[in-house]
Amino acid sequence: MSGILVYALHYEGAFNKNSLGAVSEGARLAGELGGECHVVVVGDKAGLPDDLCASLGRYGATKVFRGEGPEGLAQPVVDAMAKVISEQGHRYALFGGGLLGFEIGAGLTARLDAGVCMEVTNVRVEDGKLVSERPILQDSSVSDVHYRSDVGVIIGRLNAFEAKEAGEGSAAVEDLQVDFEPHSLKARMVTRGEQRGADVNIEDADILVAGGRGLGKAEGFETLEELAGALGGAVAATRAVVDAGWYSYSAQIGQTGKTVSPKLYLAAGISGAIQHKVGMQGSENIVAINKDANAPIFEFSDLGIVGDLNKIVPKLTEAVKARKGG
Ligand SMILES: Cc1cc2nc3c(=O)[nH]c(=O)nc-3n(C[C@H](O)[C@H](O)[C@H](O)COP(=O)(O)OP(=O)(O)OC[C@H]3O[C@@H](n4cnc5c(N)ncnc54)[C@H](O)[C@@H]3O)c2cc1C
């Protein structure tokens, strides 16, 4: 079968945008290959009703395999997808990226001895096969990746594939019995929720307080939120910290994140890598706090403060509050 199998992540009765993008892309490519796009979902059956699963048909999926198992964890999905591929003979598995997509894709690749390409930004059909396009050399060039394995795994860059409703289609829903591997059930979900800052549109903010690895830990963002609150601005972040799970991807500034041009961009604990700079260099005023006087960010800052952000940021917040009379 020349089909494509996609994983879709759901949360509180909806599939996330990244997954819907993957389903749309899978359907487009399957159409060009003359096959079908199928989807695997895994979770508690009560949280995955027929109509929710069938709604993936609007994005071009023809069939949804619904596995009953732990939600939001990688290994159970690897088991489910490996089973479907071995029984149905899909030629490709496609993921929308993000931490879970990377983990499942890597696990599936190992399980099936498949070829894999990550950080894919585009996929095209050539001679009846898929070719993944992956930016390389700091995104200055694009490499073509061809698959020689029986199954090819494609892991997109987060939100690289656009979610497109293709019509009123309704996917068939089939329950899937999966015998999970013993190790797949060893992890359990302790808590789940929206990442801090995911609801703020940083592109509209006049003042951005951005944090990097110099914050030391996720909790470091609490002090930045306080400063941003005092200034009436929003919080942004570098890729290093969003990849580490310290802050929301939606707050990432840079080459693979957002491009912003606020009146004030205050960078705390950010080195100033070129991939970050391209997303914020249009800011009217750049203020950087870094303990390393030689950090590259000082080369393009209007004002540089050399010192420990743990001491400077709380004092700055206090000073702003005092100035504003609160
Ligand atoms: C293809 C590609 C795309 C990328 N896209 C992006 C992108 O979109 N956005 C992005 O941001 N990055 C991107 N990157 C990653 C980029 O190259 C850098 O790795 C990243 O920006 C570094 O993040 P950082 O400044 O938080 O961390 P680091 O480079 O580790 O810098 C941390 C800084 O904090 C300072 N510091 C440490 N402790 C303190 C303290 N107590 N007080 C004050 N300062 C302190 C240090 O001196 C250091 O300068 C990309 C990379 C690649 C290869």
pLDDT in tens, 267-293: 999 999 999 998 899 899 999 999 999
Q: Would you call 265 exposed, middle or buried from its count of C-beta atoms within 10 A (0-12, 13-18, 19+)?
A: buried
- How far is the C-alpha of 27 from the C-alpha of 37, rounded, in Å? 5
Name the closest-CA residue to atom 43, ligand 1. Answer: 290
- How far is the C-alpha of 250 from the C-alpha of 195, rounded, in Å? 9
Q: From the alpha carbon of 216, which atom of ligand 1 is closest?
A: 38
Q: From the alpha carbon of 272, which atom of ligand 1 is closest?
A: 25
Residue 195 reports pLDDT greater than 80: no
pLDDT tens-digit series, residues 43-102: 998 999 999 999 999 999 999 999 999 988 999 999 999 999 999 999 999 998 777 899
Instruction: Determine how many CB atoms are found less than 10 A away from the CB of residue 199.
Output: 9
Residue 294 reports pLDDT greater than 60: yes
* % the chain with pLDDT above 90: 76
**Which letter does DSSP use for residue 125 in this model?**
E
Question: What separation in Å is there between the alpha carbon of 218 and the centre of ligand 1?
Answer: 14
2 touches ligand 1 (CB under 6 Å): no
Q: Which residue has the tokens 């396009």?
A: 133
Cα–Cα distances in angstroms (integers) from residue 159 to residues 14, 22, 24, 45, 89, in the given order? 16, 8, 12, 27, 27
Q: Which residue has the tokens 């945008």?
A: 17
H or E stretch covering 204: none
Least confident among 20-29, 96-105, 194-203, 262-271: 194-203
Residue 134 reports pLDDT greater than 80: yes
224 touches ligand 1 (CB under 6 Å): no
Q: Which tokens go with 273?
A: 């890598």
Name the closest-CA residue to atom 18, ligand 1. Answer: 273
Task: Please give the span between the terminal C-alpha atoms of the chain, in angstroms, as a whole number.
Answer: 66
Beta strands in 12-149 (DSSP E): 14-15, 37-43, 63-68, 92-95, 115-120, 122-126, 129-136, 141-146
270 touches ligand 1 (CB under 6 Å): yes
pTM over 0.85: no
- How far is the C-alpha of 243 from the C-alpha of 112, rounded, in Å? 26
Looking at residue 225, its pLDDT comes to: 95
223 touches ligand 1 (CB under 6 Å): no
pLDDT tens-digit series, residues 144-192: 999 999 999 999 987 678 889 988 889 999 999 999 999 999 998 888 7
310 touches ligand 1 (CB under 6 Å): yes
Helices 309-323 + 220-231 axis angle, to 10: 20
Q: Would you call 185 exposed, middle or buried from its count of C-beta atoms within 10 A (0-12, 13-18, 19+)?
A: middle
Q: What is the pLDDT averaged over residues 204-221?
A: 95
* % the chain with pLDDT above 70: 95
Looking at residue 194, its pLDDT comes to: 57
Phi, psi of 286 (to 5 degrees): -115, 125
Q: From the alpha carbon of 308, which atom of ligand 1 is closest?
A: 42
Looking at residue 110, its pLDDT comes to: 97
Looking at residue 136, its pLDDT comes to: 82
Looking at residue 1, its pLDDT comes to: 62
Residue 324 reports pLDDT greater than 90: no
Question: What separation in Å is there between the alpha carbon of 294 and the centre of ligand 1?
Answer: 14
295 touches ligand 1 (CB under 6 Å): yes
Residue 200 reports pLDDT greater than 70: no
Looking at residue 138, its pLDDT comes to: 62
Name the closest-CA residue to atom 4, ligand 1. Answer: 275
254 touches ligand 1 (CB under 6 Å): yes
Q: Which tokens go with 246?
A: 């310290």
271 touches ligand 1 (CB under 6 Å): yes
Residue 326 reports pLDDT greater than 70: no
Looking at residue 196, its pLDDT comes to: 55
**CB neighbour burial string for 269-307, b if at least 16 within 10 angstroms, e if fewer:** bbbbbebbbbbbeebeebbbbbeeeebbbbeebeebbee
Would you list the DSSP string of 33-56?
A: HTS-EEEEEEE-GGGS-HHHHHGG
